Amino acid sequence: MLASIDVVFRQFLDDGLGCASYLIGDERAQVAAIVDPAYAIEEYFGEAKHRGVEIVRVLETHTHADHLSGHGRLALDHDCTVGIHPAAEAEYAHEPLVDGAAVDVGDIVFRVLHTPGHRPEHCCFAVTDRARGDEPWLVLTGDSLFVGDAARPDLAVEAREGAEGLFHSLRRLAELPDGVEVYPAHVAGSLCGAGMSSKASTTIGFERRFNRALQFASASDFVEDSISANALRPPNMERIVELNRGAFVGAPSALGELTDAVDVTVLDVRDADAFGAGHAQGALNVPVDGSSFATKAAFLLSPDERIAIHAGSREQAERAAEGLRSVALLDLAGFVLDPPLDERLRPVTVEELQGLLDGGGVEVLDVREKDERDAGYIPGTRHLPYRVLRAMGSEVDGNRPVVTICSTGPRAAIAASVLAAAGVDARPVVHGGVATWPGQTVEFRRCGA
């Protein structure tokens, strides 16, 4: 069933985090709701103004663990009512959304389906346009059913318990009519699922036929398959859950320009080549224009650190600040555009690396993840993922140069910046890596070996 022409519907995607949020409302009644809002809420109001609606409600499918929610800003600054299931044990003022409840926004009805598994409080929302009929035309599935995959069950409860709950929740969703459109809270790029598609939506019928997670005949088989996955946990997860469950987090302070960068951690968000050519002493490098900027930064930085952003422009600094805030890195001192460029990093080419390995005068660190390493690695290299280097850098031999390498270069550059900040003579393979290494010299082993 199609929605009427008076329905406001807009999906917002954060490509870096793989998160989706939704504006849905009734243009005739001039009201709308936001589902699973990001902390950066400005884009919602731009669209609401364009469509002539007022945002009056916020619906959370669950307490998010990978990004800071914008429900606090919407409640504090725009007087929106926030709804979430009681099992979330939210400490903020909210409307409890119990199974079967209906939330009306003009002629749009959000029917609450309690679907535990990813988290105990998780709910989906079947959306009906009463102007056209009583059957739902779409379902917002949050972190339960994805396009081509299902959510991970191990972030809030014991994995086996979560997987059993998720199995039954997915079966409940599969009972919806074939034509019901599915809009999840995540697409590819998120750490909340492994095999999801980059497509923004699907249908119940398509997923029932092709989604592997819906093919298991028994809960026990589904559970065993689900708990065998070995995915990274979102960085800063406990802190993000604490903030999303606790008192409302309001709007951020304006990001100002600093005259100096004293008693701060400098995060250089320019590209790796610019960083290598010259950067502030002790700076870390995570390019804002690279993939998964916020996630990579959150793996490196602590929520307790005061961060100064070194950017190439104010606009670049603002984009970096938005990404950092999205993963609850909120203590931003400001930004600098022209700090003293006291240090440099000399990159290594793939061709040069072979000679360095043969000479034995360097240590080569493979900074990819374990599953990548298990699929194939360069002989003579040591494995240490980039995201643990700040905590485990003491295990690196600082008495000889270190070359960092990943698949194609970006993570190697990040890793080299971490080591250089700790006083290690580090050189990254920036343009190329294991993926461009001559195939005959890459060794392979079984996963887990």
- List pLDDT tens digits, range 379-398: 989 999 999 999 987 788 77
pLDDT above 60 for 448: no
What's the pLDDT tens digit per position in 301-359?
999 999 999 999 999 999 999 999 999 999 999 999 998 898 999 999 998 888 888 88
Residue showing tokens 């961060």: 307
What CATH code would you report for 7-240? 3.60.15.10
* Long-range Cβ contacts of 130-134 (<8 Å, 24+ apart): 131/4, 131/6, 131/7, 131/107, 132/1, 132/2, 132/3, 132/4, 133/1
Q: Where are the domains of the chain?
A: 7-240, 254-336, 350-441
- Residue 9's closest CA among 21, 25, 30? 25
Alpha carbon distance 276, 389 (integer Å): 19
Residue showing tokens 């779409």: 138
Instruction: For domain 350-441, give the CATH superfamily.
Output: Rhodanese-like domain (3.40.250.10)
Contact predicate 110/103, CB 8 Å: yes
pLDDT above 60 for 444: no
Contact predicate 384/367, CB 8 Å: yes
Span 399-413, mean pLDDT?
Answer: 93
What's the pLDDT tens digit per position in 86-106?
999 999 999 999 999 999 999
pLDDT band with cut points at 50, 70 and 90 for residue 443 = low
Number of H helices and E strands in the chain, helices first, is: 13, 20
- Residue-wise DSSP of 155-174: SSS-HHHHHHHHHHHHHHHH
CATH topology of domain 254-336: Oxidized Rhodanese; domain 1 (3.40.250)
Q: At what angle do helices 293-300 and 410-421 cross, to 10 degrees?
A: 30
Residue 380 has a CB neighbour count (10 Å cut-off) of: 14
User: 367 φ, ψ to 5°?
Assistant: -105, 20
Per cent of the chain over pLDDT 70 is 95
What pLDDT was estimated at residue 395? 84
pLDDT mean across residues, the chain:
92
What's the pLDDT tens digit per position in 35-52?
999 999 999 999 999 999
Alpha carbon distance 19, 187 (integer Å): 6
CATH topology match: 7-240 vs 254-336: no
pLDDT above 90 for 272: yes
What pLDDT was estimated at residue 439? 57
CA quadruple 47, 67, 36, 23: dihedral, nearest 10:
10
